[in-house]
Structure 1
């Protein structure tokens, strides 16, 4: 614990980043034109589309596109999707009748110069059986009908491909005499098992952190009680938390965390690149080593065989006194972290990232504490506004959702930033990961751990206390986030938008109903909960 605490103090900006950088759940995110409304003939749901590429009868690659609001419903089964020969449009934009004769081929065109519906009508009239539109950007764009368009009865499927996929397909067509494609849209399961496991991971992490924090607080209270019995009141000062290696947040630092996180998020957005992700990986590895080391030492110290090693210390240059058990565990943690960093692109690397991440989150929630409900309200409220702004409102100034761009790691060549937990979607034909950012666990977790410390130090039962309801509220808020993600047509969702009102609203409402709100708001945790201490105060 001593080593971890010193490093947390020396890397305070990194700690603030972990506390306040909340990454949204990222699904398959596409850009949408919200101007044109649905209308008859142009009311399809947006669906992702698989486009396998066949060269001379052999499947060589597969691209992902997006279907249009108009056109027929796409086939959902690969075995039922016909192979179609694909040809280049002439002119390339397909805004006028093609010069080449079409007899059921799929036509590949460029975006621009006329509306999507116009391109589809021209291609269908020329005899094309499908239309592939190459976007002028690397992202996908949702194709809708213009406001004043009337001829929207399109009878051929229309799919948009990202710029890089379209370029690759054109290159294949130049180098091969026979290029064909399939077009189909597998249905995504309503709920994937990965989301269930990720929910359990997040809730379990907060649960473990809360009990560890409450146990530590109770042990500290027992030590204080012993000192009181022996008459050593001078040892009980306002700096007790700091002397025990704890970091107590105040109102100013809560606001600073969110401001710092916002500045860092903008820096990530502006400087997003491979080398910047590498720096974040190094920071994550340092924090992961400390978190894993702290958790392993705490667990091993509970066993009789390791008690002596945990209680024996040696002086280490720079770090000071470090237990022998910490020295023994540290090389294992460092090796584990380095292995993850080297092989983080492997298919099973998410397991190592989750282990390091969970250990780091538990350690942060053990060391960092909010003293009362007032500070918790300021922290969660600021984080709530932070999440909404950087996911939704930042589009007005940056033309893109800053949080989503950073979460996906756009332009870095990496699969997102490492400050998140993720699990591969198991039964989703589209693959990918279900993810949750550290901030979505740490920020509400600080409030939940505070509620259990209060219950234990106030000697409240589980039903009469606040932890049970705070824990249920967190789980419910996280569940609502997943529901919203599945209902919002693939749009990334800020988890704190749902979790903060659920947890904070539950605690404030319940405390007000029970008459504890004033005490929780200003005092928070009782400092001397032991019965004989209260008697001594009464006698005085």
Structure 2
């Protein structure tokens, strides 16, 4: 059990990326300020290709700071013939006559605005610049003078540009079009992701509260029938749970930050493969624990009979029966994780893992919960926003996307494909944005049940509602920021923690919630003593 806990805590609390994202197609850049004639946002541009009149493929480029804005609908984009520049860099007047073609040029030897001006004067209708790297580059205005360029300028990655050059050199007629479709205000994927996150916390909270109540009932029963020496024995049923303390809550920020920087610096294909292996180990453990808990009521005899297994100790027959399926499920996902519907397997493993962590790891009182969420609040904001000042890019977002790894992000995310988005991609949420506030929500339901409070008089409904509203506000901010990744805890923590503290103070329970974390319960053993003395 201790080894499993270590794996889960490392995977979830330290590796989890704490942000939500929908992928960004609009990029702001304060290093390249706007001025007249050079005031466009950097937008991704779709470049469909036709070969000899037949639609072939589609590349994605980035628009320049200068030139006219891109059409947002494909039907308004003109299909225009593509021609090679001569000279290739287009730093001087082309030798070939242009009559409204799109000109394909190489990057380098002069500024982007010089290339665009030369192409426009030569009669080109647009300029398509091939980058000298596989990534895209933001085309800015180098000089301080105002710019008056009236043709679109788009940059393509090196491999895409090389393919177009080869087509033209083989005497093939190539035509292109430019357009930059806008994302829908709300995608159905965000609704399902919200339901998934809220539902996961709901299930985990009820499991955690049910377990806590069963333990409390068992303790009361044992204490009622116990002798004096039995009272010296530690509380039964508490093993297997990890209560966070104030120090570990503070150290979370330090260890998580160090590990995040290590991921950022070492991000590569092989490093992501290691994360996939660790995720599968944690996913197998989580899925196995959830399935055993679910099936125990139907197969009680197998759940209560044990066999000794080397290195693992006593293991129930039900666990042994379920474990091969869990391992096979994780292995199949890992092998086929690049196919279009692999996100389903990733979400199943992730949800099972999150529920298991919320069952094992617990916040003992509101004081620890406040310290933990307060530290996570600062951690999330710094690594999503403030890290740009030190690393020139958002460390959290780079790690979550798996940049420089050749992979489609790290696996410690719940994700759903954006179904009605012309750009495709995924809406994602980091495990940390579910687990960390989920610890507080689960604590609220445990307190309600131990205090015999109904839903209306308790704290759980309010905490659950606050989490849902905080996550909803996060998605509103995400759409207002054109899909740029947002630190979800920036919005969730004030909602959940603020609601809990305010309600506890209003009801007069704040002192108990803050220090004890559970209502005072009369000891059955002590209640019986006066009766025994009378006899």
TM-score strictly above 0.5: yes
1:460 and 2:453 matched = yes
Q: 1:437 to 1:233 in 2, by over 3 A?
A: farther
CA deviation map 1:217-254 (0-9, x unaligned)? 01111001101211356666796488431011111222
What is the Cα deviation at residue 308 of structure 1? 1.0
The count of corresponding residues between Structure 1 and Structure 2 is: 530
Q: Check if 1:285 corresponds to 2:314.
A: no
Unmatched runs of 5 consecutive residues or more in structure 2: none
- 1:112 shift after superposition: 5.3
Question: Which residue number corresponds to residue 19 of structure 1?
Answer: 13
Cα distance between partner residues in 2 of 1:532 and 1:176 = 93
Q: Decide whether aligned partners of structure 1 residues 140 and 514 sit closer, same or farther in structure 2, where only a CA change above 3 A counts.
A: farther
Contact persistence 1:84–1:105 (CA under 8 A): yes
Name which of 289, 302, 309 aligns with 1:294. 289
2:46 to 43, 47, 50: 50
Tell me the TM-score normalized by structure 2.
Answer: 0.91
Query: 2:347 matched to 1:351?
Result: no
Listed as ranges, the matches of 1:156-235 within 5 Å are 156-232=151-227
Contact 1:74 1:183 in 2 (8 A): yes
Please state how far the C-alpha of 1:468 moved relative to its aligned partner: 1.1
Tell me the residue number matched to 1:122.
118
Range 180-189 or range 370-379, more displaced = 180-189
The 5 Å alignment of 1:80-159 reads 80-111=76-107, 116-143=112-139, 148-152=144-148, 154-159=149-154
**Aligned partners of 1:359 and 1:37: how far apart in 2?**
47
1:316 aligns with 2:312: no
Q: Displacement, 1:274?
A: 1.6
Partner of residue 444 from structure 1, selected from 432, 437, 449:
437
Write the deviation string for residues 21-44 of structure 1: whole angstroms up to 9, x where unpaired: 224223334754214544555554
Q: CA deviation at 1:458?
A: 1.6
Cα 1:236–1:280 change in 2 (3 A) is farther
Relative to structure 1, the CA distance from residue 371 to residue 230 in structure 2 (aligned partners, 3 Å threshold; closer, same or farther) is same
CA deviation profile, 1:59-115 (whole Å, cap 9, x unmatched): 332111233444334333334422212223344444444343221111223445655
- SS of the residue aligned with 2:49? strand
Aligned partners of 2:138 and 2:497: how far apart in 1?
Answer: 37
Q: Report the CA distance between 1:213 and its aligned residue.
A: 0.4
Distance in 2, Cα, partners of 1:147 & 1:389:
34
Q: State the SS of the aligned residue for 2:393.
A: coil
- Alignment TM-score, normalising by the size of structure 1: 0.90
* Residues 180/249 of structure 1: CA separation in 2 closer, same or farther (3 Å cut): same
Are 2:81 and 2:101, in contact at CA under 8 Å, matched by a contact in 1?
yes
Counterparts of 1:91 and 1:241, CA distance in 2: 82
Measured after TM superposition, the shift of residue 136 of structure 1 is 5.0
- Which of 3, 8, 31 is 1:7 aligned to? 3
SS at match of 2:350: helix
1:535 Cα deviation from its structure 2 partner: 5.9
Shift in Å at residue 537 of structure 1?
Answer: 10
CA-CA distance at 1:296 after TM superposition: 0.7
Q: For residue 365 of structure 1, what is the aligned residue in structure 2? A: 358
Query: Given the superposition, is the C-alpha separation of residues 81 and 323 from structure 1 closer, same or farther in structure 2, using an over 3 Å criterion?
Result: same
Say which of 250, 255, 258 aligns to 2:250. Answer: 255
> Aligned pair 1:529/2:521, yes or no?
yes
How far is 1:489 from its partner? Answer: 2.5
**Secondary structure of 1:71's aligned partner:** coil
Aligned-pair CA distance for 1:120: 3.1
> Structure 1: which 5+ runs fail to align?
none
Q: Is the 8 A contact 2:11 2:282 kept in 1?
A: no
Q: Which moved more, 1:97-106 or 1:22-31?
A: 22-31
- After superposition, the CA RMSD in angstroms is 2.7
> Structure 2: how far apart are the matches of 1:511 and 1:6?
34
1:382 counterpart = 2:378: no
Structure-2 change in CA distance of 1:136 and 1:387 (3 Å): farther
Q: Is the 8 A contact 2:48 2:177 kept in 1?
A: yes
Asked if structure 1 preserves the Cα contact closer than 8 Å seen for 2:219 and 2:235, the reply is no
Cα 1:232/1:34, change in 2 over 3 Å: farther
